[in-house]
Amino acid sequence: MKHAFTVTAVAAAAVAMAFLVLPVLALFLRVPPRDLIHALGTPAAQDALVVSVKTSAIAHAAVLLVGTPAAYMIGRGRFRGRSLLLSLIELPLVLPPVVAGVALLVTFGRLGLLGGTVNALGIHIAFTQAAVVLAVAFVESPLYLRGAIASFEGVDGALLDAARTLKAGPFRVFARIALPLAAGGLGAASALALARGLGEFGATLLFAGSLQGVTQTLPLAIYAQFEVDFNTALAIGALFVCFGAAVLFALKLIPGWTRSVSLWTFRSASSPSA
């Protein structure tokens, strides 16, 4: 009986692995590597890469700049309505990307909730690179915020209280104690959010369109090239696989890096100059 269960479990694991791995391998096996590299040199792939890198970098920087202190306040604070606030932060995670795109369009579009005011100032957002940035930030920020909040919640409150008793100001406590101690979780949340933002499709298509060299990101380029140049679509897909592997590798390295940062933090906090 035990032997039969083991065989069944191994067979199930083999089927699951084959189902998950074979489609990924097929991206690289369908076309020779030389052709994949050549396809990445096409104008469509290069333009999409530039647009994706530019818009994702801007969106991710904004998410980190605004989201990190916000996550610290929510993670360390205890106030009425906190559970509701967390639910509102998580709500975009369960929305279909198409719904997110429609929501952004009716908010920032020409006839949207804020569109009239924004257009009156001479700022046009919908179907521009600014729309791509907003779409990417909208879909990745909940992922980063939730991970960052959990990271700050895990910081030992006694260390923060000790720093305050030593007359450290709120910003110093945040920057010198809380931020380094939460660095591991923040790094993981940042990497996952960045990957989610780069892979965004539906919200970007509806809110920003798919104009090559302007708003066409890598996922949109795959869709556009699917029937035009299949090799280019495969090459961009393979590029995403490589990026995803790099993200996973970075996440594996974060725990060791976190231990080093935490050791430095404890030494700094215990030094007379701290």
The pLDDT score that the predictor gives to residue 55 is 95
Asked if residue 262 has pLDDT above 60, the reply is: no
Across the chain, how many H-helices and E-strands are there? 14, 0
Provide the mean pLDDT of the chain: 85
pLDDT bin (cut points 50, 70, 90) of residue 231 is: confident
Has residue 149 got a pLDDT over 70?
yes
Classify domain 42-270 by CATH architecture.
Answer: Orthogonal Bundle (1.10)
Average pLDDT of the segment spanning 259-274: 48
Domain ranges of the chain: 1-30, 42-270
For residue 261, is pLDDT > 60?
no
- Which amino acid does the sequence have at 253? L
Residues 95, 138: Cα–Cα separation, whole Å: 11
For residue range 84-138, list pLDDT tens digits in order.
Answer: 999 999 999 888 989 999 999 999 988 778 877 777 777 888 899 999 999 999 9
Give the per-residue pLDDT at 36.
77
Name the band, by pLDDT with cuts 50, 70 and 90, for residue 255: low
- Residue 203's closest CA among 131, 143, 142? 131
> One-letter amino acid identity for 171?
F
Count of all residues that appear for the chain in the document: 274
Task: Tell me: pLDDT of 263 over 60.
Answer: no
pLDDT confidence of residue 248 = 75
Mean pLDDT, residues 36-59 taken together: 89
Whether pLDDT at 274 is above 60:
no
Query: Can you tell me the mean pLDDT for 33-54?
Result: 86
Amino acid 254: pLDDT: 59
On the question of pLDDT at 177 being above 80, the answer is yes
- The Cβ-side half-sphere exposure at 85, using a 13 Å CA radius, reads 13
**What does the pLDDT read at residue 17?**
93
The whole-number average pLDDT for the span 239-247 is: 82
Q: Which two tokens stand for residue 233?
A: 């679509």
Q: What is the pLDDT of residue 252?
A: 65
